[in-house]
Structure 1
Amino acid sequence: MSETPGSLHAEGHIPVTDEPAGVERGSGVTLWRQIAERIEQEIATGARPPGARLPVETDLAATFGVNRHTLRRALSYLTERGLIEATAGRGTFVKEPPLRYPIGPRTRFSEIVAAGGREPFGRFLGSRVEPADAGVARELSLAVGTPVLRIESSHEADGVPMSVGTSWFPHARCRDLDLVYAATGSLTRALATLGIADYRRRETRLTARPATAQESQTLSLPPGRAVMVLERLDAELNGAPLQFGRSAIAADRVQLILKP
């Protein structure tokens, strides 16, 4: 069934307007800039709200009556301005405001994301038991060489990648934690099955650097984009070190709020 003008497009696309969105040739303003200004205006007025998916390139190019090369120049400009963002496998979206992420004594990704009205998801990427090196042993108050459980994971909000990182746990305390985490997607729920009902953040450390190639791929970041590197140490309520973690966070998608 064909769509009527102004109706919703498939897959949640924001509809094009009833009036043609064609650009003015010979106006003295390049075509790609006219397109960028048109989309930017639609974002500013709320016609394309945060999180809205843009139509696919072929549809947008047809709407504006230009070739895909011209359209891509406009989209590239809007991406550089931080107004839209392409996520591999999902499409191009009007950029959401940064996720407000409070860091305090009790910091839980799922709870924070859900409180912000978004859908949290933890993706298990892999695990192994390995001997603790000097750095991990120091953080977890273990002897060098003590077996630790290493878990690789990434976290998303509404399907948008937010962070990717590695966590280490004392293996004797957290045996099979990786299996439960892989099944539930929630570290808090996985720890609860081991009898660890609660834990507290003991320390948080922040630095920044350019994303590695692997981080850029996992987080769907353009080349050269920066990440925040967050190191954290969590402890059980009795004070015993529980988790040392290091995560790369998409710097422009998360606003960290440090709380006493």
Structure 2
Amino acid sequence: MGKKTPLWAAIARTLREDIAEGRYVPGDKLPTEARLATRFGVNRHTVRHALLTLVDDGLVRTRRGAGAFVAARPTDYPLGKRVRFHENLLRAGRSPGRKILTLEPRIAGDTEAQMLDLAAGAQVLACHGLSLADGLPIAISESLFPITRLPGIAHALHDTPTVTAALRQSGVADYTRAATRLTAEVASATQALHLQILEGAPLLRSTSLNVGPDGVPVEYGHTWFAGDRVTLTLTDD
């Protein structure tokens, strides 16, 4: 009589097949331990053992208080002088997406005015947006554009699919990243809501300044990347 397969191993194999067949895709939440226990006719401890095996294999991630999710393959995202979100994701084999949350003209803060080389009290257009890869949110951002320097930038951002296209429509044929600063943070309640992660989850914040061909600043802002969904790499390009 052959050796019996442990129940937890059989459950793990079935869930692997479910994931491989696309029944659950990256980012999907798996059924609760209670529902899986009912499905397989076992106790929750056995289900938990199976899920931990999938976590060890890198197929599943668990979040305290939220459940178990199919692990999304981190998106490789290079940070260099010529950063282009849309092009970067296409190059990584991902489908890029962008959602504008708000477009709001306001007075630039002291640091913002200094970075954008503006006079005190100058207006900027604050663009809050959500970046997606294969439909999954990977970053939330606040970008500031000098209004008087970029005629029509609000309409361009609203009507065009990329920041590059919007800047081109506003008279900036090309731009490069002049400075980048990376810091680690934790997600606030509102950031977690947009990124579909838990409050307090790790984020990586990129603060950057982009300039046009003449070296004049055209964009300054912050991007908060979900720590488990993006692998940032620094390049010279």
Same fold? TM cut 0.5: yes
| Number of residue pairs the alignment of both structures matches | 226
The structure 2 residue matched to 1:240, chosen from 195, 209, 216, is 216
- Residue in structure 1 matched with residue 190 of structure 2 by the alignment: 214
Note the 1:1-260 alignment, pairs <5 A: 37-38=12-13, 51=25, 57=31, 63-66=39-42, 77=52, 83-84=59-60, 94-260=70-236
- Residue in structure 2 matched with residue 21 of structure 1 by the alignment: none
TM-score (norm 2): 0.79
Structure 2, unaligned runs of 5 or more:
63-67
Specify whether residues 52 and 219 from structure 1 end up closer, same or farther in structure 2 by C-alpha distance, changes over 3 A only.
closer
SS at match of 2:104: strand
Inter-partner Cα distance in structure 2 for 1:75 and 1:155 = 33
Inter-partner Cα distance in structure 1 for 2:155 and 2:212 = 20
Q: Percent identity?
A: 32
Structure 1, unaligned runs of 5 or more:
1-23, 87-91
Query: What CA deviation, in whole Å up to 9, does each residue of 1:85-129 have, x standing for no partner?
Result: 59xxxxx86323211111111000000001111110111000111
CA contact (8 A) 2:127 2:144 kept: yes
Inter-partner Cα distance in structure 1 for 2:98 and 2:90 = 13
Specify whether residues 130 and 223 from structure 1 end up closer, same or farther in structure 2 by C-alpha distance, changes over 3 A only.
closer
Specify whether residues 42 and 233 from structure 1 end up closer, same or farther in structure 2 by C-alpha distance, changes over 3 A only.
same
**Larger relative CO (CA 8 A, sep 6+): 1 or 2?**
2
CA contact (8 A) 2:9 2:50 kept: no
CA contact (8 A) 2:204 2:226 kept: yes
RMSD: 3.6
| Superposed displacement of residue 133, structure 1 | 1.0
Specify whether residues 243 and 74 from structure 1 end up closer, same or farther in structure 2 by C-alpha distance, changes over 3 A only.
farther
